Amino acid sequence: MTSRAQTQTLSDDPLGGTVRRTVLPNGLRILTEAIPAMRSVSFGVWVGIGSRDETPTLSGVSHFLEHLLFKGTKRRSALDISAQIEAVGGETNAFTAKEYTCYYARVLDADLPLAIDVVCDLVTDSVLTEADVETERGVILEEIAMHDDEPGDEVHDVFTEAVYGNHPLGRQISGSVPTISALTRKQIDGFYRRRYRPETMVIAAAGNLDHAKVVKAVRAAFDRAGWSDTAVPTARRSRTAKVPTRSGQVVVRNKDTEQAHLVLGCTGYPRQHDDRFALGALNNVLGGGMSSRLFQQIREQRGLAYSVYSFTSQYSDSGLFGVYAGCAPGKVEEVLAITREELARVASDGLTAEEVERGKGMLKGAVVLGLEDTGSRMSRLGKGELLYDELLTVDDVLRRVDAVTPEQVRRVTEELLARPMSLALIGDFDDGAFADALG
């Protein structure tokens, strides 16, 4: 008896195309959105494995593996992989996050079969030679060094570690110099074999495409690598570590920079929290745009910073909420005081009705304006299937944003700001500076 693939039509979005979903007998999920008006197709393999699935010793292995998969398969050298896609004017790349890794290509519609073949080949059939592990180790150490030369980015890692401590979510996606220096080919290959399985993956594609052809081509590519429709054991998951509730931390990293780079914040909401759209509206009004309170107070009114914004991050069982600013070292106290004052004011008085409407307008605009290219539509499918229980249509999202009330936003603010606040700071400061900043 041949196992059958199950296919369903999920939506026929007036703002996009027709979304179809097929589940292969081996557990591989394939989602496509057919948009005949586009000239390109984006194709991605989303793997539900990221840095939080690593033990401390293996820290950085997901990202190391992501690099190595481009180094060659049984059928293609590293140069073949990039040259085949680039010769037809396409692009291919990948990125690693805390809870997933994505490999993708964007090509003209006629070149989709090539893109499927190349991306599936590198994900399923990479050879990971000893020599490539050594070369790529050097590349990743340079990537870490480059990141350390960008204090505006680095301070976010310092903040994340301050909030999560030793929990896997607190570790850097790239790993550290010691862990990257120590990882062996055997460890990386073992991680690859154990974790990259059809049932931990989602295929997503959007653009001018035919669903049945995509399914057929993906199936052929997975068959070729021996990842065919046989039953496979479910990969073990290690996301059992409960996210700790830590007290507020102040972490200052001394560095000879021009600006002080600071992040002040706390834990936020997990990805599927009922109040996530209210938090999104709050984030927009507080520090999400040029009209936001923090931008107005810190930049427009006082000229204290060029870059100042609030942000949220979402994970399956946790999240982050924070404010970033880059300012003159002598202005850190003032920027912190204004930030804390604005946060307290929103928690006590709430936002005005006009502000809440603006925050909702920004959310809705980002949804609609953010879905004009095939790459973002492909990502919507991949993330929706892999990270959420449901794939909301664009209309569903807009309706849920519309339902947000000022009282809900006020409650969310009050709730968040009762949490322990942490401060991360990079700049030319003395040891012990700002130890009482959260007083």
Query: What residues from 151 to 180 belong to the interface with its own copies (CB under 8 A)?
Result: 151-152
Q: 211-224 and 112-124 helices cross at what angle (nearest 10)? A: 30
According to CB under 8 A, which one of 63, 171, 299, 383 is a site residue for its own copies?
A: 299
By CB under 8 A, tell whether 190 contacts its own copies: no
CA distance 367 to 9: 22
Q: How far is the CB of 306 from its own copies (least distance, A)?
A: 4
Smaller CB separation from its own copies, 258 or 349: 258
Match 């569903």 to its residue by tokens.
Answer: 396
Please, are residues 288 and 358 in contact by the beta-carbon 8 Å criterion? no
By CB under 8 A, tell whether 89 contacts its own copies: yes
The stretch among 31-39, 43-51, 163-171, 382-390 that binds its own copies (CB under 8 A) is: 31-39
By CB under 8 A, tell whether 250 contacts its own copies: no
By CB under 8 A, tell whether 88 contacts its own copies: yes
Query: Judging by beta carbons within 10 Å of its beta carbon (0-12, 13-18, 19+), is residue 216 exposed, middle or buried?
Result: middle
Please, are residues 85 and 106 in contact by the beta-carbon 8 Å criterion? no
Residues 111 to 140 in contact with its own copies, rule: CB under 8 A = 134-140
Smaller CB separation from its own copies, 284 or 422: 284
Q: Which of 66, 136, 342, 355 is catalytic?
A: 66
According to CB under 8 A, which one of 25, 220, 357, 397 is a site residue for its own copies?
A: 357
The stretch among 17-25, 230-238, 305-313, 314-322 that binds its own copies (CB under 8 A) is: 305-313
Match 């931008």 to its residue by tokens.
Answer: 295
Q: How far is the CB of 283 from its own copies (least distance, A)?
A: 13
CA distance 278 to 400: 9
Q: How far is the CB of 358 from its own copies (least distance, A)?
A: 4
By CB under 8 A, tell whether 39 contacts its own copies: yes
Binding footprint of its own copies, residue count (CB under 8 A)? 75
Residues 199 to 218 in contact with its own copies, rule: CB under 8 A = none
The stretch among 53-61, 85-93, 217-225, 339-347 that binds its own copies (CB under 8 A) is: 85-93
By CB under 8 A, tell whether 197 contacts its own copies: no
Smaller CB separation from its own copies, 90 or 168: 90
Residue 66 is among the residues annotated as catalytic for this protein: yes
Residues 52 to 81 in contact with its own copies, rule: CB under 8 A = 70-71, 78-79, 81
Smaller CB separation from its own copies, 38 or 119: 38
Residues 279 to 298 in contact with its own copies, rule: CB under 8 A = 284, 289-291, 295-296
Q: Which amino acid is at 291?
A: S
Q: How many CA atoms lie within 13 A of 255 on its CB side?
A: 21
- SS3 readout for the chain: CCCCCEEEEEEECCCCCEEEEEECCCCCEEEEEECCCCCEEEEEEEECCCHHHCCCCCCCHHHHHHHHHHHEECCCEHHHHHHHHHHCCCEEEEEECCCCEEEEEEEEHHHHHHHHHHHHHHHHCECCCHHHHHHHHHHHHHHHHHHHCCHHHHHHHHHHHHHHCCCHHHCCCCCCHHHHHHCCHHHHHHHHHHHCCHHHEEEEEEECCCHHHHHHHHHHHHHHCCCCCCCCCCCCCCCCCCCCCCCCCEEEEECCCCCEEEEEEEECCCCCCCCHHHHHHHHHHHHCCCCCHHHHHHHHHCCCEEEEEEEEEECCCCEEEEEEEEECHHHHHHHHHHHHHHHHHHHHHCCCHHHHHHHHHHHHHHHHHCCCCHHHHHHHHHHHHHHCCCCCCHHHHHHHHHCCCHHHHHHHHHHHHCCCCEEEEEECCCCCCCCCCCC
According to CB under 8 A, which one of 23, 127, 328, 392 is a site residue for its own copies?
A: 328
By CB under 8 A, tell whether 330 contacts its own copies: no
By CB under 8 A, tell whether 249 contacts its own copies: no
By CB under 8 A, tell whether 244 contacts its own copies: no
According to CB under 8 A, which one of 26, 32, 40, 51 is a site residue for its own copies?
A: 40
By CB under 8 A, tell whether 351 contacts its own copies: no
The stretch among 22-30, 145-153, 231-239, 243-251 that binds its own copies (CB under 8 A) is: 145-153
Q: How far is the CB of 302 from its own copies (least distance, A)?
A: 7
Smaller CB separation from its own copies, 90 or 198: 90
Smaller CB separation from its own copies, 11 or 374: 374
According to CB under 8 A, which one of 51, 179, 257, 267 is a site residue for its own copies?
A: 257
Q: How far is the CB of 22 from its own copies (least distance, A)?
A: 26
Q: Which are the catalytic amino acids?
A: 66
